């Protein structure tokens, strides 16, 4: 499971996750952050998730042991929230570990400039694929952010080998595949008769 790297530690830590959205927003990264944060909280760690609220006001709530700070959002451009409140909130936090979920330029740069954690981890969920024009401007900053982080999580060995962003910093990379809670997919009481059929519903992306 992806949370086992931290959750099995005997040392209680203050852990901060940074991304743009969180539950009830649905999405692969949003679900990954929620599952990981809740598992870490269940293991006894102090966990904060810093994201952006859909509206202009900052809200704080607690869900399943996780403190969620939803910073006010000014607008959204190119799928990225624009927020002044999120970097300001980040500057006042002192976690042991900050876990940034990428791609999220605002969070990556804000943590690079303002983060106060003793260690920083970035999970590189995906290269930026569609916003290539914008990436020409942001690319040099992203390379500096990746060089400055302590550890980079990639979801497969192939991603490290093929990503133009991960290859130059592959010595910082570790592979941690996304986990699945197998209890949600328990087999039926009777054994299968015939071949196993798998159904995938979703969008395939690079």
- The domains of the chain are located at 4-185
pTM for the model? 0.86
pLDDT tens digits, the chain, 206 residues: what are they?
A: 444 444 445 689 999 999 999 999 988 899 999 999 999 999 999 999 999 999 999 999 999 999 999 999 999 887 789 999 999 999 999 999 999 999 999 999 999 999 999 999 999 998 887 766 677 888 899 999 999 999 999 999 999 999 999 999 999 999 999 887 788 777 777 666 777 778 888 877 66
Could you report how far apart the first and last alpha carbons of the chain are, in Å?
23
Helix axes 132-148, 105-114, angle to 10 degrees: 30
User: Domain 4-185 belongs to what topology?
Assistant: Rossmann fold (3.40.50)
Neighbours of 64 (CB within 10 A): 13
Contact 71, 52 (CB under 8 A): yes
Mean residue pLDDT of the chain comes to 89
């Amino acid at each position: 499971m992806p949370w086992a790297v931290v959750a099995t530690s005997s040392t209680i830590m203050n852990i901060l996750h940074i991304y743009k959205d969180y539950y009830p927003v649905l999405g692969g990264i949003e679900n990954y952050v929620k599952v990981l944060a809740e598992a870490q909280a269940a293991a006894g760690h102090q966990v904060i998730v810093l994201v952006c609220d859909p509206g202009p006001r900052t809200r704080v709530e607690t869900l399943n042991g996780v403190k969620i700070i939803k910073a006010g959002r000014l607008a959204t451009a190119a799928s990225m929230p624009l927020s002044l409140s999120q970097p300001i909130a980040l500057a006042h936090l002192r976690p042991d570990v900050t876990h940034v979920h990428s791609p999220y330029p605002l969070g990556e740069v804000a943590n690079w400039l303002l983060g106060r954690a003793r260690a920083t981890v970035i999970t590189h969920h995906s290269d930026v694929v569609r916003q290539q024009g914008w990436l020409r401007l942001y690319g040099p900053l992203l390379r500096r952010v990746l060089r400055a982080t302590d550890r980079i999580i990639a979801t497969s060995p192939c991603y490290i080998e093929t990503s133009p962003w991960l290859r130059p910093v592959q010595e910082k990379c570790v592979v941690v595949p996304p986990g699945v809670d197998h209890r949600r997919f328990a087999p039926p009481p009777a054994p299968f008769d015939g071949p196993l059929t798998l159904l995938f519903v979703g969008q395939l992306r690079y």
